[in-house]
Structure formats: C-alpha cells, structure tokens
Structure 1
Amino acid sequence: MRTTSGPRAAVVALAATLALGVAGCVPQDEPDTPPSSDGGNAVQQLGQLTVATAGSMKGYSRDHFPHWRDTGKNCDVRDSILQRDGKDVKLSGCNVVGGRWESVYDGRSAADPADVDIDHMVPLANAWRSGADEWDDRKRGDFANDTTRPQLLAVSASSNRAKGDQDPSQWKPANREYWCKYAESWVTVKHYWRLTVTSAEKAALTDMLEGCTVGNES
C-alpha cells in the first residue's frame, strides 16, 4: 500500500484533525429556559408541585423583594415590561411616557402608563408564604424581577389591586378567556421557583386547566 509523505501528508493529517475536532465538538450547555406553556405541560408541572399549607407572613416586607432593577440609564424593569406589553409606545430616553395598553385581566384600556400596574403573576406575599421566606434577598430580587418566566405583566391598576396577594382559589381574572393562560403562567412560575401550593390552590388550578390544549393562546 502506498503511503503519503511530505507536504501532502501534512495537509491530509491537518484535514483529519479538523474533521475529528468538528465531529467531536460538544455544544456548551444552554442556560435553563422555561418549557413552552400549554395545558398538558402545565398539568404535568402542577402534579410535580409540593402541596402544603400556606406559611406565616411573619417577617414579610416588600423590601425583601428588591424591585425594580435598573435596565438602562434612568429606566428599570417596569419600563421594560411597559414597553414589551404596550402598543405605539412612546419613550423619553428609555422611560415609557405614553402608549396603549389593554389589560388581559379585565379588558380595560389605558393610554397613560401611570394607569398601568406591573403585576407579579405569583404575588410577592404569596411567594413568601410558599417558600420564599427561606430565600435571601438576592434570590427574592431575582424572583421579583423575573422577565424570563411569565411572572410580570402590564395590567390595569384596578385589577392588580383587586387581586392583591390572592391565589387562584381566591381570585381569578374577570376575563374568563384568559383563565387558561393565567393558570399555565401561575404553574410555570411556581414550578420554576419550586414554590408550594395549597390544596385549594391546586384544585382551582386543575379546574382552570381543564380544556386547555397545546397551542391554546387564550
């Protein structure tokens, strides 16, 4: 058998080395991303949540959930959510000063950002009673400013304040067409942050998820 030597051998060896490197390349681990939200997936995640009685409010303060974090010069997470959820948004620098928002909770519209609240899907006080009381303030800040999960939502101030810190067994959006998405989002947040649910909360979520199907956007 004829062997290759000289410059040609070097080229062949280099090609073989490059081919091996490409074939043996292992991609870097991707950061954790939330699974796509759909009824079936939410039901599965709900079944994985720990059921427990609500914890005490002892020691609770919103100051233990530092927000809103800076997202640019003179703007913060609130501005980012207003910009994400609004239409025809007007900016001054990166501050949101105008636009149009429709609250998915009750269908109310607003043209002034001062009339819009940024709702924590899982309220801070509810999170405290569900296990966040054992976190440090840094982790609680991560939770309060979570823009990756469906935890932050621009809604009407009246609906946000009516909701307060109640769970789905105590409060549901007036817009029934949003119940499926609401339940999916609630479960996604609690599942990612490993928060507990009460038995009444789980029953309400189970009921809301009935009829939800993959790809349901309501």
Structure 2
Amino acid sequence: MSTRTRTKALLVAVVAVLAVGGYYLSGGLDLDGDGGDSTATGPADLSELTVAPEDTGAPYDRDDWPHWSSVGNGCDARDAALRERGRSITVGDDCDLSGEWTSIYDGETVTDPSELDVDHWVPLAEVARSGSRDWSEQQREEYANDPDVLVPVTASSNRSKGDRDPATWLPDEDRCGYVTTWVQIKQRYELTVDKAEAEAIRDVLAGCE
C-alpha cells in the first residue's frame, strides 16, 4: 500500500471516530465523563496474548514514530483526540480548541487544553519493546495516530505513568477499564506481554465484575 493510500486511510479512520462518538475499541469506556459505563465491556482475554520477555534490545526513538499527523482543516491527530474526548467543544482558527475534559487517569476536570497531554494508552516505547521491532515507518505512524489508542489526560498523571506497563503503574481511576483496553490494544496490534505485566493485569481483572 502506498504512503498516500495509508495516509488517506488514517484520515478516514480519524473522521469516522469523530463522527460516531466517545468509545475506544470494543470496550465503550466513558471517556467523555457523561455518566455512562466507565469500564470496558469488550473481551480482555490474556490467553490471546503471547507472554514473552520484553525486547529490551529493540531500538526506540520517539522521532521514529511520526505522530500528530494532519487530519485536515488545520487540525492534527492530537487535536482530533481532544475534540472527540471533550465536552462543549468549540474550534477556532488554526484548530484552537476550548471546552472541558475529564482526565480518566485521575478524574481531574480540565478546561485549559494546554494542561492536558494526549497519551498513547500503550506507550510508544512499550510498543517498541512488545513486538514491533520489524514494523515499517508507516506502521509506526498508523499506531502513533490511531484515535483508538489516544487519550487526553492531565500532564501530571501522564508524567507519572511515563512508559510503564501495568506491572509498575496503574491509574487512580477505573483500573478495570484501563487494563481491559490495554489488553484489547495489544490484541489488536499482536503485541506481547511480559510475565510481570500479565500477572498484574490478571490481578486487576480478578477484582472486576
């Protein structure tokens, strides 16, 4: 597939997500904070994932993962995530956004988008360690801009998370939904989990209804 075709497919995917509203993957997390289900309902089957040591020798450079690709009208993939996951959103010149957001990691309500980071649910560095060594630049770009893996959160909670997996970091809010979506993303992208990560996820899921 040509670069132009892949870019067009990415834009179509982003527009489709903007059109249908606030759900990630098959899980239905209430990222808009409007009172719907807060936990994912799709499958989170660890048996579908390969347990393997992290590929710590895999090279990682954030610049090798082209992110915030344009989605048109002066907006990029980051803007699209903020627009989709907020409330009472207005869009000004050069995709200047205003509105209100709830950070699902810590439950904080934010009205200044500059106080938000748009996080990759499974961080780029974690993806690099989990089986993407042979991905092309186009595949890395597709992941880095996939609206299903982008989530606006407070900068402080994102910095706390860093590139850690659930073995060493979990959010203050909705841990069941968080690990369920984590597993769904890894299933979708055929990524591995390490032993400690798998055990931490299993422990969380054991306490979920």
TM-score range, shorter chain: 0.7 to 0.9
Q: Secondary structure at the match of 2:43?
A: helix
Residue in 1 that maps onto 2:43: 41
1:60–1:133 contact (8 Å) kept in structure 2 = no
Task: Tell me by how many angstroms 1:212 deviates.
Answer: 3.0
- Structure 1 residues 141 and 102: alpha-carbon distance in aligned structure 2, compared to 1, 3 A threshold: same
Runs of 4+ in 1 over 3 A off after TM superposition: none
Instruction: Tell me which residue corresponds to 2:166.
Output: 168
1:101 is aligned to: 101
Cα distance in 1 for residues equivalent to 2:96 and 2:203:
37
The equivalent of 1:118 in structure 2 is 118
Shift of 1:130: 0.5
Post-superposition offset of 1:133: 2.0
Larger Rg: 1
- Aligned with 2:133: secondary structure? helix
Q: Does 1:142 align with 2:142?
A: yes
Q: TM-score, normalised by structure 2?
A: 0.78
Task: Give the C-alpha shift of residue 40 in structure 1.
Answer: 7.1
Conservation of the 8 A alpha-carbon contact between 1:168 and 1:205? yes
| Unmatched tracts of structure 1, length 5 or more | 1-30, 214-218
C-alpha RMSD of matched pairs (Å) = 1.9
Cα deviation, residue 172, structure 1? 0.3
Structure 2: which amino acid aligns with 1:92? G
For normalisation by structure 1, the TM-score amounts to 0.75
Partner secondary structure for residue 132 of structure 1: coil
In the superposition, relative to structure 1, how do residues 94 and 57 fare at CA in structure 2: closer, same or farther (>3 Å)? farther
Q: 1:145 to 1:100 in 2, by over 3 A?
A: same
Give the unaligned 5+ runs of structure 2: 1-12, 14-23, 28-39
State whether residues 59 and 128 of structure 2, in contact with CA within 8 Å, keep that contact through their aligned partners in structure 1.
no
C-alpha contact (below 8 Å) 1:79/1:95 kept by paired residues: yes
